[in-house]
Amino acid sequence: MRRVTQWSTAHLEHNIVCVPQHGAPQVRTIHPEHDVVRVPQHGAPQVRTIHPEHDVVRVPQHGAPQVRTIHPEHDVVRVPQHGAPQVRRYTSPGHRPGYATDTSCALTGRSKQYHQLNFTMPQSLVKNLVHLIFSTKNRASVLNDIVREALHAYSAGILNDLASPALLINSVPDHLHVLFNLNKNTALAHVVMEVKRGSSKWLKTQGDNFVAFHWQNGYGAFSVGESAVEAVKSYIANQQDHHRRVTFQEEFRVFLKRYEIAFDERYVWD
């Protein structure tokens, strides 16, 4: 029987010879920029062709290079100042990164940057309209016409500083109504605290009648749908007429019952 032997020249820089546990040796030509050779602790060397746009090569301090295919919408590649590139998978559309950089490392250890994957970060679009109501301490009728307009403007300035602009502010002698758009990144309690604290300090400077001024400790805050905005603005604008017939306590009870908020009369009024 005639035996045929096939030969392949293994170039020291461009070829790699794989000697499997069983079978004949294999010679594969490697490309210095597109291929990566992984030499495991046991077994034959492995060659993988890397895609310049979709793969990233991670060369750890110890061990063999690792190749990972990145998804342009779900993965982000982090290239630290020192160390190997890191790939993170984002599984939720709301957590997609604003951009990702695909970096591949050649066999020489040098890094090669190919391109940047640009795609739009989804925005968080929020509109939280709130109807805020709170009274003076013990419902004292001290908010007179002299300070009322300036009080509204001062309170609106505080809300603007909190990125929670007011749509309308109005008051009667013993309480205040505010319709505003709550900032999505700010807690409601923080906004109310800042409005009450800032306006209270300002009122204390408006004459002897306000030296001991305080707002009540609590408040009522009620969500408003876009379709109800005009009705709520009209309601707030007509507070003077409304409270010729209805007291603040009667009004507040109506809101609590309308929004199905459980309350205890012993702790509502202060």
pLDDT in tens, 16-39: 656 666 666 666 666 666 666 666
Region of 63 on the Ramachandran plot (φ > 0 left; ψ -120 to 50 alpha; else beta): left
Domain CATH number, residue 208? 3.30.70.1290
Question: Domain boundary at 118, 146, 172, which?
Answer: 118
pLDDT of residue 122: 78
Percentage with pLDDT > 90 across the chain: 52
Q: Do 136 and 96 share a structural domain?
A: no
4 is a domain residue: no
**pLDDT value for 79:** 58
> Are 80 and 194 in a shared domain?
no
The whole-angstrom separation of Cα 142 and Cα 226 is 33
Inside any domain, residue 180: yes
- For range 152-169, the mean pLDDT: 98
Q: Is residue 3 part of a domain?
A: no
- 143 & 230 share domain: yes
pLDDT digits 0-9 by tens, 70-93: 666 555 555 566 666 665 554 444
pLDDT of residue 15: 63
- Average pLDDT on 218-240 reads 97
Residue 4 has pLDDT above 50, yes or no: no
The number of domains in the chain is 2
Residue 184 forms part of a structural domain: yes
**Looking at the structure, do residues 73 and 192 belong to the same domain, yes or no?**
no
The answer to whether residue 261 sits within a structural domain is yes
Which residue, chain included where needed, has tokens 């906004």? 191
Q: What is the pLDDT of residue 270?
A: 87
- Regarding whether 209 and 136 lie in a shared domain, the answer is yes
Q: Indicate whether 87 and 177 sit together in one domain.
A: no
With 70 as the cut, is the pLDDT of residue 57 above it? no
- Give the pLDDT score at 102: 40
Q: What are φ and ψ of residue 46, in 5° steps?
A: -120, 140
Q: Please classify residue 100 by burial: count the beta carbons closer than 10 Å to its beta carbon, then call 0-12 exposed, 13-18 middle and 19+ buried.
A: buried
Going by pLDDT thresholds of 50, 70 and 90, the confidence category of residue 48 is: low
Task: Report the chain's terminal Cα–Cα distance, integer Å.
Answer: 109
Residues 112 and 243 in one domain: no
- The parent domain of residue 37 ranges over 26-118
Is the domain of 136 the same as that of 192?
A: yes
* Final residue of a structural domain among 118, 140, 163: 118
Render pLDDT for 242-265 as a digit per residue (tens, 0 to 9): 999 999 999 999 999 999 999 998
Residue 17 domain-assigned (yes or no): no
Instruction: Please check whether residues 105 and 134 belong to one and the same domain.
Output: no
Question: Is the residue at 18 inside a domain?
Answer: no
Quick one: average pLDDT of 209-226? 96
Residues 62 and 133 grouped into a single domain: no
Long-range contacts of 5-11 (CB under 8 A, 24+ apart): none
Single out the residue in 118, 138, 165 at which a domain terminates: 118
List all residues 6 or more positions away from 249 whose beta carbon is below 8 Å from its beta carbon. Answer: 139, 269
